[in-house]
Amino acid sequence: MTNNSPAERARAIGPLLEQEGPEIDRRRELTPAVVDALVEHDLLRLLLPKGLSGQEITLLEFCKTTEALAINDASTGWFVNQSNISAASAAASMPPEAAAAVFQGPRTGLAWGAKNNQSKAIRVEGGYRLTGKWDFASGSRHVSWLGAHSFVCNPDGTAHIRYEQPDDRSFIFPRNQAEITDDWHVLGLRGTGSDTYAVNDLFIPDTHAPARDAAVEKRWPGPLYMLSSTMLYATGFCGVTMGLARRLLDSYIDLAKGRHSRASTNAMAQNHAVQREIGLLEAKLSAARAFLHEAATNAYEAAAAGRLDLDLRIRLRLAATYGMNEATEVSLACYRGAGTAAIFEGGPFERRTRDALSASQHLQAMMAHIETVGRYLMGSEEKPRFL
């Protein structure tokens, strides 16, 4: 099965995702059948280094894969994006022996929540004592390992400095060592099961505390690991929103082919306004997708050649954030265009519109990133963030 491309393997489980989607939404986690299918089609080791039995696929292949999954179920695409990038960015900066022990077998995976100010990691002999609480651990119900981000302090409470800046690390530990709070009751992307978790004074050895975006700690030379985890997430999540928009647009087109709106004297397929809207939505989505693929390809190839510069990283940031917002606009336009047909559970619009709205609220879609690009293009000396 792995002789096929990752996107082809993602499409192969499309009928299963279509079937299981409502149950995934109801359970607020992926079904066992879907998790088994992801393992069988080897979709959880896409970005791990080949030296760790990973596939180390290109960035373009990866965003096509998250898109292909999200066409049928966005929560599955979200989980695959989150787990693959978390695992790869951690493994690339861990000692190879430790990484191999954590990320072994086709069921490998890692979930972690967003960095916050509710944690502390105290530097001790051989490692750290970690205390804190984190939320948004997407896919954490389907993995054996959790991670948590925290700045490090010395035993006296002062900031621990490494590489001439505050030491910022990700701590990897077995899921069963954390206290999990089942609090994922949300509008959309319910199947990601993005629970809150906490640990108290948990010892983490040095080998399991990588600085995931510190170039000096990278153990693997591949181009994926030259890109920041932030930009990997942005590209993959953009793929998810593209898949959602694609499915909603296709559903809108199918509806328009056979429906007669009570608000118009013409069938939808003969309504010039509907025809124009569908044409423009197709152009909007296709243009945003092409921009993302171009920027992802250029950044990856530059990283492979050792010449990934700020211009290309800025370009990828722009493409990913712009793409997420354009995809959201397409999704919402399709929901509105479908009229009352869009509001029914079990139909093609309701759940996916909730998913699209939830995806649009992610940090990676924030318009502040577009402002960052604008400042850079105008020559601002302010250091760009989230690149």
Q: State pLDDT tens for residues 340-369.
A: 999 999 999 999 999 999 999 999 999 999
Give the pLDDT of residue 262.
63
| CA–CA dist 256, 153 (Å, integer) | 60
Fold of 6-102: Butyryl-Coa Dehydrogenase, subunit A; domain 1 (1.10.540)
Residue 260: pLDDT band with limits 50, 70, 90: low
Contact 13, 42 (CB under 8 A): no
User: How far is 161 from 159, CA to CA, in rounded Å?
Assistant: 6
What's residue 174's pLDDT?
97
Task: Please report how many Cα atoms fall inside a 13 Å half-sphere around the Cα of residue 229, on the Cβ side.
Answer: 25
Percent of the chain predicted with pLDDT > 70: 98
Q: What is the sign, positive or negative, of the torsion defined by CA atoms of 151, 155, 158, 159?
A: negative
CATH 1.20.140.10 segments of the chain: 227-377
pLDDT of the residue at 259: 74
Q: Within a 10 A sphere around the Cβ of 22, how many other Cβ atoms?
A: 14
Class of domain 110-215: mainly beta
What is the spatial distance between Cα 257 and Cα 268, in angstroms, rounded to a whole number?
Answer: 7
At 48-61, the pLDDT tens digits run 999 999 999 999 99
Torsion of CA 327, 325, 66, 48, to 10 degrees: 160
The rounded distance, in Å, linking the Cα atoms of 301 and 169 is 28
227-377 fold? Butyryl-CoA Dehydrogenase, subunit A; domain 3 (1.20.140)
Q: Which residues pair with 205 in a beta bridge?
A: 127
Specify whether the CB–CB gap between 88 and 55 falls below 8 A.
Answer: no
Q: What is the pLDDT of residue 131?
A: 97
CATH 1.10.540.10 domain position(s) in the chain: 6-102
- The reported pLDDT for the residue numbered 267 is 81
H/E run at residue 333: helix 310-337
Report how far apart, in Å, the C-alpha atoms of 290 and of each of 225, 293, 315, 316, 384 are.
Answer: 23, 5, 13, 12, 24
Question: Helix crossing, 272-304 with 229-258: angle to 10°?
Answer: 160
Could you give the CA distance from residue 12 to residue 7 in angstroms, rounded to a whole number? 9
What confidence score (pLDDT) does residue 2 get? 57
For 233-250, what is the mean pLDDT?
98
Average pLDDT taken over every residue of the chain: 95
pLDDT band, residue 268 (cuts 50/70/90): confident
The model's pLDDT over 68-97, given as tens digits with 9 standing for 90+, comes to 999 999 999 999 999 999 999 999 999 999
Position 8 scores a pLDDT of: 98
The full 3-state SS of 144-200, as one line of letters, equals CEEEEEEEEECCCCCECEECCEECEEEEEEEHHHCEEECCCCCCCCHHHCCEEEEEE
- For the ranges 122-136, 211-225, 323-337, the lowest mean pLDDT is seen at 211-225
Q: How far apart are alpha carbons 122 and 155 in whole angstroms?
A: 6
pLDDT over 90, % of the chain: 90
Residue 1 has pLDDT above 60, yes or no: no
CATH 2.40.110.10 domain extents, the chain:
110-215
Note the Cα 237 to chain centre separation in Å.
4
Check residue 261 and give its pLDDT.
Answer: 58
Burial-class residue 50 by CB neighbours within 10 Å (0-12, 13-18, 19+): exposed
Query: To which residue do tokens 């096509």 refer?
Result: 64
Task: Quote the pLDDT of residue 264.
Answer: 63
User: Residue 35: what pLDDT?
Assistant: 98
- Measured CA to CA in angstroms, residue 31 lies from 35, 36, 75, 113 at distances of 6, 9, 11, 21
pLDDT for position 265: 63
56 dihedral zone (left: phi>0; alpha: psi -120 to 50; beta): left
Classify residue 339 as left (phi > 0), alpha (psi -120 to 50) or beta: left
* DSSP for residue 44: S
pLDDT band at 117 (very low <50, low <70, confident <90, very high): confident
Q: What pLDDT, in 10s, does the model give residues 125-170?
A: 999 999 999 999 999 999 999 999 999 999 999 999 998 899 999 9
